[in-house]
Chain A
Amino acid sequence: MKILLIDDSKTMRNIQRSVLAQLGHTTVEEACDGQDALSKVGAYKPDLILVDWNMPNMDGLTFVKTFRQTNKTTPMIMVTTEAEKARVIEAIKAGVNNYVVKPFTPDLLSQRINETLAKCQSAQAA
């Protein structure tokens, strides 16, 4: 499984990469903002995207909206400090499949990744 991590913080990308490794996912590409992600996503063709919200150049919400114009199915999880209910609704409406608020425990992120993949796989199989 190919995973794209989008976060302007290398520290946060490393933390998430470590959780993914514990789940057995080691094929991971990184992007430092939405613009960088858009330049990589076409060639990389990820099976799962983890995207931060607040980033320079292009924020995560703009990335999600842009990406969803051409790709309706790749599972996306927003991993962000934006915890307000209105923000969560905005992100879901834009096209993310799940939402994780920072700070998070490795167990919580693992759980959200597993449930998102399971939900998206069963939706595609239906």
Chain B
Amino acid sequence: MDPQYIKPFIASIQNVFSTMMQLPVTVKAPKIKDNPSTTYDVSGIIGLSGDVVGSVVLSFPKDTAERIVSLLTGSPMTADSPDFADAIGEIVNMVSGGAKASFAGKKVSISCPSVVVGPGHKVAKQHDAPTIVIPCATDCGEVAIEVTIQTADAAVTAKAA
């Protein structure tokens, strides 16, 4: 995967977390994911379509997710709250939207977010592109961005092969 599609996610998560939660993010070295399960128990998922296709998963341990959404909303919130999924969805929406704005010359749309909570779940991928995991550390705990994207042209070529 072209690094030009990874760097925007790093900048975007740092911008979203610092602006909305005053939470600095330290990014570790991205790596190719070799396990179909998501990194952690809570997933915020966004689909990309247009000139770039694929998916973005923001993956949190449950307790980290609870701390982060509590910072976002300004009040304590657990994963049992009816508003928990909405808050996680809004975070992945902001991170993905900010990243796609940096895809130079590409017209890309993002889907409405989905949220899955539960240990060991898998997010099915519709494309053959490898998944790149960007490990992130915050004072609330670890977070991972899982990016599985490719240009629409590459997706068509892969399907035809």
In-complex Cβ contact of A55 among B73, B98, B112 (8 A): B112
Determine whether the beta carbon of B20 is less than 8 Å from that of A103.
Answer: yes
Point out the residue from A14, A54, A102 that lies within 8 Å of B112, measured CB to CB: A54
A104 touching B73 in the complex, CB below 8 Å, given contacts A55-B112, A81-B93, A81-B96: no
Does B112 contact A11, Cβ atoms closer than 8 Å?
A: no
Interface of chain A residues 1 through 40 with chain B (CB within 8 A)? 8-12, 14-15, 18
Using C-beta atoms within 8 Å of the partner chain, give the interface range for chain B. Answer: 20 to 34
The reply to whether B20 and A83 form a contact with Cβ atoms under 8 Å apart is no
B110 contacts chain A at the CB level, 8 A cutoff: yes
Interface secondary structure of B, over-half rule: helix
CA distance A10 to B98 in the complex (A): 20
Residues 73-122 of B contacting A (Cβ, < 8 Å): 73-74, 83, 86-87, 89-90, 93-94, 96-98, 100-101, 107, 110, 112
Cβ B74 vs Cβ A102 within 8 A: no
Instruction: Give every chain B residue within 8 A of A83 (Cβ-Cβ).
Output: 97-98, 101
Q: B138 on the interface (CB 8 Å rule)?
A: no
Can you name 20 A-B pairs with beta carbons within 8 Å?
A: A9-B89, A9-B93, A11-B83, A11-B87, A11-B90, A14-B73, A15-B20, A54-B97, A54-B112, A81-B97, A81-B110, A83-B97, A83-B98, A84-B100, A102-B93, A102-B98, A103-B15, A103-B94, A103-B98, A104-B19
